[in-house]
Amino acid sequence: MEGVIKKGNAGWWDGSVGYEIYIRSFADSDGDGVGDLPGITGKLEYLSWLGIDLVWITPFYPSPMADFGYDVSDYCGIDSLFGSFEDFDQLIQEAHKQGLRVIIDLVPNHSSSAHPWFESSRSSVDDEYRGYYHWRDPTTDGKPPNNWVSHFGGSAWTLDEESGQYYLHLFLPEQPDLNWNNPRVIQEFDEIIKFWLSRDVDGFRIDVAQGLTKNMLMPDNPIRFQINKNMSPRQVFASFDHRYDLDQAGNLEIFRRWRNLVDPHDALLLGEVYLRDNDPNRVSRYVSSGDALHRAFYFAPMHVPWDPQSMWDTFRDALDAAPEDLSWALSSHDDPRAPTRFGGGEEGKQRALAYSVLLFFLPGLPVIFQGDELGLPSIELELEELADPVATRNAVETDGRDGARTPIPWDSSSGFGFTHGTPWIPIGNRSEKDTVEYQQKTQGSWLMQYQTLLQIRKDNLELDSPLRWVTARDSDVISFSRGGLISALNVGVSGQILSLPNGQWELAFHVGEVVLNDRSVVFAENSAAILILAS
């Protein structure tokens, strides 16, 4: 297979449902308050029961934990906080026995500042690893080389006093960006990918896939909106047109190279492609050639308001740009949980489940974030309880991600079954009704509804059937068919009626008040339905 690129993005992941495990907060096996690899192994049966096919595990590599594992100090190791290689191998073996695939987070945009490459690189301007990172002289007045800013607040440049040069970091200063124009960096990651493939992983979720290569001239990015001191880091970052630091053409060449490495192993490349304005045409470039990424996360659905026109624009435009190869997430460890995003309370939970009726039946790969299936909202934490550096290091902490990262409540015992120690971050005001144990034995719970929805998807979704819109862009009901199945979501502020195509339709699943008549369906507010064509 050397030098041969297999065209096309199809694979075992077609028809799969993914599940993101934020390892610190999933299940703690040893009582230190931090989730770990053996904890995941102990819950694989639950994930299989739920209807999951693919598990994505966030970083477990050795790390100083400045960004909770996304600052990697050894790409081919396992932090003792999370377990050992024996634990990892057992997890992979048990997952495969359960029919589950496992992909791991690859963090190629930046390393930890504690990585031996960076420590060596900062030792001397002549060091052999200096070129692994972006080092630049100050401007004539001693300022950073350009106006690039960090996702996490402040300048993207930090001055190294000893050498008198700045180094680039699009995230924390403890996360220096790697120089992907250096062939040695490219070769290092070839070996990292081969290492994990040899341990039978089923693929990689690629962190910051849009950020790897930079314009090496490093001009200033154009400013789109005036910046003021009351802006959060996310708002400041969005005020720039990231023309030179993100989404450079060289990214695709890297992913094409990786396809050569993973295709012989039948492994998945799933990219986190987080682009300005969530332009679907730019995201689609990462998958459309059929020889780069297999799937790319599209993040607009995690930010769209509960509004018909906004949702129509989001989904129609995305599916026009990339009809098959996007990945859809309801929530993630970086954003507020869906029930909170959609208004909170029981209404927010109902809207999140109704929205899932839409997401789970689109072409592409849907991914659940741990706890979505329980209807969990984000947790409100006190100022002194915050751990996320985005919150703790900035005067405006509104972008803090802690509320979505609190531990999973498994049962009503002390520590909610997550740990028998003190959790690394407060679990918050979860109740018995939030727990897996309670919801598994309660008819109509959020968990049982999600499990039913995924089973209906498995039993009835015709993967080869193209999506056909049942309603038009001016409708408050967003509805499409795929073969003999219709998915419909009412995003309007009042009840709506959906006329059905010819045939005998059966109501297979519904959220909220839905009434099926002979040739139409009546939807109350915040409702959704799956209809199946009777044979």
pLDDT at 106: 98
Which amino acid appears at position 18 of this protein?
A: G
pLDDT at 1: 33
The superfamily CATH assigns to domain 462-533 is Golgi alpha-mannosidase II (2.60.40.1180)
Q: Are 88 and 78 in contact (CB under 8 A)?
A: yes
Interatomic CA distance for residues 142 and 121, integer angstroms: 21
More confident residue, 20 or 396: 20
Please, how many CA atoms are within 13 Å of residue 121, restricted to the half-sphere of its CB? 26
Inform me whether the pLDDT recorded for 360 exceeds 60: yes
Is residue 272 part of the annotated active site? The answer reads yes
373-to-228, 241, 349, 448 alpha-carbon distances in Å: 39, 36, 10, 8
d(CA 201, CA 380): 35
Domain residue ranges of the chain, discontinuous segments joined by +: 18-109+183-456, 116-168, 462-533
| pLDDT over threshold 80, residue 49 | yes
Task: Please determine, for residue 4, whether its predicted confidence score (pLDDT) is greater than 80.
Answer: no
Q: What is the pLDDT of residues 457-499, one digit of tens each?
A: 999 999 999 999 999 999 999 999 999 999 999 999 999 999 9
Class of domain 18-109+183-456: alpha beta
User: Contact at 8 Å (CB) between 428 and 407?
Assistant: no
Alpha-carbon span 372 to 355, nearest angstrom: 12
Taking the chain, what is the end-to-end CA distance rounded to the nearest angstrom?
45
pLDDT for position 276: 67
pLDDT beyond 70 at 3 = no
Identity of the amino acid at 534: A
pLDDT > 70 fraction of the chain, expressed in percent and rounded: 98
Which pLDDT band holds residue 88 (cuts at 50, 70, 90)? very high
Say whether 384 is catalytic. no
Quick one: pLDDT at residue 400?
A: 86
Does residue 30 surpass a pLDDT of 60?
yes
pLDDT tens for each residue of 227-280: 998 899 999 999 999 999 999 999 999 999 999 999 999 999 999 998 867 789
Mean of the per-residue pLDDT values for the chain?
Answer: 95
Q: DSSP characters for 190-246? A: HHHHHHHHTTT--EEEETTTT-SS--TT-PPPPB-S---TT--HHHHHHTB--TTTS
Which candidate in 20, 53, 202, 207 is catalytic?
207
Task: State residue 396's pLDDT score.
Answer: 73
Q: If pLDDT is split at 50, 70 and 90, which confidence band does 7 have?
A: low
Q: 451 Cβ partners below 8 Å, 6+ apart?
A: 49, 50, 51, 373
Q: What is the fold of 116-168?
A: Oligo-1,6-glucosidase; domain 2 (3.90.400)
Residues paired with 204 in a beta bridge:
104, 269
Residue 5's pLDDT band (boundaries 50, 70, 90)?
very low
- According to the model, what pLDDT value does residue 198 have? 98
pTM: 0.96
Catalytic residue among 36, 202, 245, 272: 272
Among the listed residues 149, 68, 102, 154, the one whose alpha carbon sits nearest the alpha carbon of residue 404: 68
Residue 153 has pLDDT above 80, yes or no: yes
